[in-house]
Amino acid sequence: MRVGVAGLNGAGKTEVVRFFERRSFYPVSLSDVIREDLATDDLEPTREHMIVRGRELRERHGPAVLAERVIATLPADRHHVIDSIRHPAEVEALKGAGSFALLWVTADVRTRFERSQARGRRGDGDTLQEFEALEARELASADGAAQQLLAVAALADETVPNDGDLLELEGRLDVLVRSALLFRERPGWDEYFMNLATVVASRSNCVKRMVGALVVADRRVISTGYNGTPRGVRNCNEGGCPRCNGGAETGTRLDECLCSHAEENAITQAAYHGVSVRGATLYTTFSPCLMCTKMTINAGIQEVVYGTSFPLEDVSSSLLREAGIKVRRQDEPR
């Protein structure tokens, strides 16, 4: 899960980040991208420098550049709390990356000014008037590369008031943590196993098509397979298969193909290790060919779930159903 934290200066975003950090969310800031860029020019990360450099980066690389650079560095196996979100394009990029909720933190302007004075950060303004003038530059602008905080606020999934003390803020955040808002749904079993099959396909050495397959029993992977030349034979991508390397058109020169199919390899790998596939489910990124269909039937597999249609799908599906085997695309209901 990724939680975004945004708000006006002094609203209490840092305390919100700390709250999530104490709950095993890893903190990330879009401003770090700007700080790193300023460091290359030996400039201090004052508020004024941050605003100007952020606009320059958006002008050169697009309005979502800060979010895009951060997203590229985030591991998928942990929760993150992300702050310094100041442009709607950044919100859209983060939402597009999946499992993201944006919190907008609010407080009245005098409270925020007093907080800014207490922390003593350079460039925040020495008077309330200066503070408000600086803030006005961040709220909205006709310049598409400038900060657009009002547009960010409009995209928030939840508003978090923070005019009181820290205990009040943490109480409100506790409610959010326990809500469905901040927790993504786990993938269903079909999606989970098909995602694994896609990873298996990445090991394929076939130069024409990369296919992956899993044999699953009791929701447990018992065998995997990807397409490529047989064990001990030169890999397809190293010139091992004359058909694939000869640029044969689909459906032609099949007698020259030395590659084993993903489903074939998944089934034979189970046999190689003495594991029964009887009653199991076969997940494959492409619907099986006729040869793999016959092997699937004779191996005793009871269900086939595939991702993308392949030539002869109708013939293979018809034969599977005639043999009493369930067959469906991943996006079809059970």
CB 286 within 8 A of CB 316: no
Spatial distance between the Cα atoms of 53 and 64, rounded to a whole number of angstroms? 14
Active site residues: 263
Q: DSSP string spanning 29-53?
A: ETHHHHHHHHHTTT----HHHHHHH
Q: Which residues, 6 or more positions from 50, have their beta carbon under 8 angstroms from its beta carbon?
A: 31, 34, 35, 38
Cα angle: 122, vertex 126, 127; to 5 degrees:
150
CB 196 within 8 A of CB 190: no
The Cβ of residue 76 has, within 10 Å, a number of other Cβ atoms equal to 7
Spatial distance between the Cα atoms of 73 and 32, rounded to a whole number of angstroms? 12
Strand order from edge to edge, sheet including 220-226: 220-226, 212-217, 281-286, 303-308, 326-329
